[in-house]
Amino acid sequence: MPLMLERDSLRDGRPVYRQIADHFLAEIGCGRLVTGARLPAIRDLARSLEVNRDTVALAYDALANAGAVESTVGRGTFVRGSAIAPGAAADLGPPDLSPMTENLLELERARPRFGSAVDAIPMHSLVPDPALYPADSFRKVLSRVLQEVGPELLLYGGPQGFPRLREVLAERLREVEIDVGAEDIVLCHGASQGIHLATRLFAEAGDTVAIEEPTYNNVLAVMRGLGLKTLPVPMRDDGLDLDALEHALARPEVKLLYAIPTFHNPTGITTALAHRHRLLEIVARHRKPVLEDAYEMDLRISGRAVPSLAALDTAGLVVHLFSFSKSLFPGARVGAISARGRIVDALVAQKQATDLSDSMLLQAALAEFVADGSYDRHLRKLRRVLRERRDALLSALEREMPGGVRWTRPDGGYQVWVELPEGLDTGELLADAVGVGVLFAPGFQFNHDGRASNRLRLTYAMADSEPLRRGVEALARLVRERLERGPRRLARVHI
């Protein structure tokens, strides 16, 4: 297994030396490096990885401390006898981590790393383009509210979140027929915390959450981090498979459905109104709550708006999740959960027990930014750019992709789902793509069991039209090459 380094440890979450150490621990753990095997000389490895020698030395020290290797001056560093069995490193020194946490770490190890490709075309990213952030006007609002309100804005906020922001958001939600007031909204630290909080209301370790498959990959991490099982319900071209949903929700251990009915991640599919009604009938019959992730609700760029599940819900079973992360910028870390009655009370209690409150300063600034029309002005500009990028991407796919390749045509959001002919493993394709400076999100990431997939997600969040065209060209070339070699059966499981 080649060692791919993520130099931006901000991105990887691990310092470089740790990535190196973990690489060798994995190689030893899975038996690719056996007892007595010699590790590369520090000098050589440093040169080949283009890192500082101290970094490699640090990594080897960490391995030695973990009992995985031993160094003999002048001779080198060798894998130790009674070499580390998988996971055995955990039995040395540090206290045991909970099974739940080990389980999460295992998933983390399977995340594809895009590090080596620095100036590659980022069609893998669902992070909105910073070039489009209204950073300067937000900076001014931020400074103004802090000056006007004063130090009180730096106190703890209430666990439910800054009232003014809840008011302006409730107003926006009512405009799309979601019948809520400020008192029905709980603000959270990004939509990801919203998923975390809402899930914990209904499910606890050992329980199961029904998810769409494919689904937002980080949700799989969230569920593992909570010790929850996931039960996949297949996504069809027109939305969730309702027969499968019926069976899933009938199971008593299934406590919740997590769904993205509009601009679904990763497929970009928006389910039709009739389909939503049938979904809600099933949900109501089983009286199971639905967490509706509407993280891209403000990003429609074509077609007619479809009412959200929350707008259609009469049974009080839908918990609705909004976020500023994709439509403005992620850095505010502000999402909003809308629900009813005791669910709101429970969300407030869990929010308080989790981190007391969010930053009132950021929430107050956002409230101003929305109330004075800046947010809507930004959305109009953003939607124009997205429309152009989406059209550039779709026409490039039309022009470049060989027969047998299918893809979705989203009416909003950032993502297009591409299906390659049977037998092509997009996890393997990614390695080629990284080589030619093109990044995409391989399908296995979005499967609950990480099984290989012939699908991949392309986004137009970070890349502009011209790079998108070049990226699709390069990708199509790789696909044709693979097809000429002839398809193979998919076997590999990545997690």
Q: Which residues contact 57 (CB under 8 A, 6 or more apart)?
A: 42
454 closest CA partner among 420, 488, 408: 420
Which residue in the set 1, 10, 73, 491 belongs to the binding site for its own copies (CB under 8 A)?
10
DSSP 358-411: --HHHHHHHHHHHHTTHHHHHHHHHHHHHHHHHHHHHHHHHHHPPTT-EE---S
Q: Which of residues 421-480 bind its own copies (CB under 8 A)?
A: none
Would you give the distance in Å from CA 339 to the centre of its chain?
Answer: 23
Which residue in the set 360, 386, 393, 472 belongs to the binding site for its own copies (CB under 8 A)?
360
First CA to last CA distance, the chain: 15
Angle between helices 242-250 and 273-286 (to 10 degrees): 10
Stretch that binds its own copies, among 215-223, 291-299, 425-433, 487-495 (CB under 8 A): 215-223
Least Cβ distance, residue 152 to its own copies (angstroms): 5
Residue 82 one-letter amino acid: S
Angle between helices 374-400 and 135-149 (to 10 degrees): 160
Cβ(159)–Cβ(352) below 8 Å: yes
Q: Which of residues 263-302 bind its own copies (CB under 8 A)?
A: 287-289
Q: Which of residues 366-405 bind its own copies (CB under 8 A)?
A: none
Stretch that binds its own copies, among 171-179, 342-350, 370-378, 422-430 (CB under 8 A): 342-350
Number of shown-chain residues binding its own copies (CB under 8 A): 107
Least Cβ distance, residue 125 to its own copies (angstroms): 10
Cis bond upstream, residue 128 (ω within 30): no
Cα–Cα dist 45/414, whole Å: 39
Cβ(444)–Cβ(426) below 8 Å: yes
Cα–Cα dist 182/135, whole Å: 27
Which residue in the set 142, 235, 439, 456 belongs to the binding site for its own copies (CB under 8 A)?
142
Measured from the CB atom, the residue of 189 and 455 that comes closer to its own copies is 189
Which residue in the set 262, 267, 357, 447 belongs to the binding site for its own copies (CB under 8 A)?
357
Least Cβ distance, residue 385 to its own copies (angstroms): 14
Check binding of 122 to its own copies (CB under 8 A): no
The region that residue 42 occupies, defined by phi over 0 for left and psi between -120 and 50 for alpha, beta otherwise, is: alpha
Least Cβ distance, residue 120 to its own copies (angstroms): 17
Which residue in the set 117, 168, 217, 255 belongs to the binding site for its own copies (CB under 8 A)?
255
Least Cβ distance, residue 278 to its own copies (angstroms): 19
Least Cβ distance, residue 421 to its own copies (angstroms): 34
Name the DSSP class of 333.
Answer: -
Measured from the CB atom, the residue of 197 and 490 that comes closer to its own copies is 197
Least Cβ distance, residue 297 to its own copies (angstroms): 19
Which residue in the set 55, 77, 160, 262 belongs to the binding site for its own copies (CB under 8 A)?
160
Check binding of 66 to its own copies (CB under 8 A): yes
Burial class (CB in 10 A: 0-12, 13-18, 19+), 94: exposed
279 closest CA partner among 326, 312, 305, 321: 312
Cα–Cα dist 92/483, whole Å: 48
Measured from the CB atom, the residue of 13 and 435 that comes closer to its own copies is 13
Cα–Cα dist 181/99, whole Å: 41
Measured from the CB atom, the residue of 262 and 357 that comes closer to its own copies is 357
Which residue in the set 131, 484, 485, 486 belongs to the binding site for its own copies (CB under 8 A)?
131
Cβ(103)–Cβ(220) below 8 Å: no
Stretch that binds its own copies, among 32-40, 315-323, 393-401, 404-412 (CB under 8 A): 315-323
Measured from the CB atom, the residue of 209 and 490 that comes closer to its own copies is 209
Least Cβ distance, residue 298 to its own copies (angstroms): 17
Three-class SS state of 272: coil
Which tokens belong to 459?
């986004």
* Beta bridge partner(s), residue 407: 418
Stretch that binds its own copies, among 187-195, 234-242, 303-311, 466-474 (CB under 8 A): 187-195
Check binding of 215 to its own copies (CB under 8 A): no
Which tokens belong to 291?
């967490």
Which tokens belong to 302?
């074509």
Least Cβ distance, residue 370 to its own copies (angstroms): 16
Q: Which residues contact 130 (CB under 8 A, 6 or more apart)?
A: 329
Check binding of 221 to its own copies (CB under 8 A): yes
Which residue in the set 43, 143, 177, 435 belongs to the binding site for its own copies (CB under 8 A)?
143
| Chain position carrying tokens 């193979």 | 488
Measured from the CB atom, the residue of 288 and 457 that comes closer to its own copies is 288
Least Cβ distance, residue 173 to its own copies (angstroms): 17
Least Cβ distance, residue 97 to its own copies (angstroms): 5
Check binding of 71 to its own copies (CB under 8 A): no
Check binding of 209 to its own copies (CB under 8 A): no
Which residue in the set 117, 178, 203, 397 belongs to the binding site for its own copies (CB under 8 A)?
203
